[in-house]
Amino acid sequence: MLVSELETPAVVVDLDVMERNLSRMTEYCRRQGIALRPHTKSHKIPDLARRQIESGAIGITVAKIGEAEVMLDSGITDILIAYPLVGRGKATRVAELAERADITVSLDSLEAARTISEQVTARNVKVGILAELDVGFGRCGVANEKELLMLAEQISVLPGLEFRGLMFFPGQFVVGPTERSALLGDVNDLLGRTQEAFERAGWPLATVSGGSTPTAYDAHKFLGVNEVRPGMYIFNDRNMAGIGVAGVEDCALSVIVTVVSNSVAGRVIVDGGSKTFSSDRYLAGDRCGFGLVKEDPDAELETLSEEHGHLNIRDSMHRYRIGERLSVIPNHVCSTVNMHDEIYGVRGERVETVWSVAGRGKVR
């Protein structure tokens, strides 16, 4: 099948670009001696997770147990669930997974650790734990080295849990290169103090897991980081291009849409809206718009209804006709992929693969 034969809206991945993105990250991590544990929330496709493993990743990261279950069913056996799992139901499912694979969970509370400990002990299995440190994003994670050491000590005496080190998520680094550099000092102060505290306690941290796509290629600048968890790098998106982490030519994923109306002056309507792209905002520059129209950068995907994309064409010289197809790079690939039951892998004009987004909707 040809790309031009796909019904729209259709999410397509340029396989050449995707493979280049994968190789580049693998090569960087190998050169730096940093373990690569990609976050599969960006694609939720077992086949792509396996390709990441085959090209050198030590395992994968997921956000939810349901995603871990899908990945494990496809044969992936080293999974970090980078999410504080709370409650007996979730702890039971983690224990069940741990019977079949090497499972690590990140958390920041004794409550979460205790429940998991109870359930894995009941099944006579073991789960690895990364204690989460807040390095300034203010989402999850304890505040400093003292609290982390205390949490690690509490974890280490709970049966069935194996303390494996620290994890952090530098979410505040979704900004331009200058701001990213400026943020590094504070993070490294905290990382340095934390690693010293553990060393003084005679307990050096085996794993220091950092990074996401915006910081991945700077991973070697973060003190002691020996594992990274980038997700978006496999596809990249308008946000990553906007903050200078990738070029537009590195964006492997786009959404093919069709012009369905040109009745209103200064505007055309395409057949993808928030239920195709997601409503995720642009986080760089003027923070406006929902995607980059590859064929016409002067057109702005200004507003999204649920199924309509409103293209402002006042600054464009192009005369749009009904039925015309456009390729749009979305703001945020993770959210876009998550809207779809299947997406297409294409090479040139040929559709090479149809992937089922098997981890989609696994919110629990």
Name the site residues for its own copies (rule: CB under 8 A). 7-10, 41, 63-64, 83-87, 89-90, 108-109, 111-112, 132, 134, 138-143, 147, 171, 258-265, 267, 269, 271-272, 274-276, 278-281, 305-308, 310, 321-323, 334-335, 338-341, 360-361, 363-364
- Give the whole-angstrom CA distance, residue 329 versus residue 238: 6
CB 253, min distance to its own copies, A: 15
Question: What is the rounded end-to-end Cα distance, in angstroms, of the chain?
Answer: 35
CB 30, min distance to its own copies, A: 28
**Residue closer to its own copies (CB basis): 34 or 65:** 65
Give me 66's structure tokens: 């349901």
Q: Which residue type occupies 55? A: S
**Phi, psi values for residue 96, rounded to 5°:** -65, -40
- Residue 160 buriedness (CB in 10 A; 0-12 / 13-18 / 19+): buried
**Residue closer to its own copies (CB basis): 157 or 265:** 265
CB 73, min distance to its own copies, A: 17
CB 23, min distance to its own copies, A: 26
CB 142, min distance to its own copies, A: 5
**Residue closer to its own copies (CB basis): 261 or 316:** 261
Helices (H), ranges, the chain: 15-32, 46-54, 65-73, 88-98, 110-122, 145-156, 177-200, 213-216, 238-242, 274-277, 333-337
**Residue closer to its own copies (CB basis): 29 or 357:** 357
**Residue closer to its own copies (CB basis): 84 or 244:** 84
Q: In this structure, how many other beta carbons lie within 10 angstroms of the beta carbon of residue 328?
A: 26
CB 86, min distance to its own copies, A: 5
CB 260, min distance to its own copies, A: 4
**Residue closer to its own copies (CB basis): 112 or 152:** 112
- Give the whole-angstrom CA distance, residue 100 versus residue 125: 10
**Residue closer to its own copies (CB basis): 34 or 343:** 343
With b for 16 or more beta-carbon neighbours within 10 A and e for fewer, the 299-319 pattern comes to bbbeebeeebbbbbbeebeee
Query: Which stretches does DSSP call E strand in 225-265?
Result: 227-228, 253-261
CB 8, min distance to its own copies, A: 7
**Residue closer to its own copies (CB basis): 14 or 67:** 67
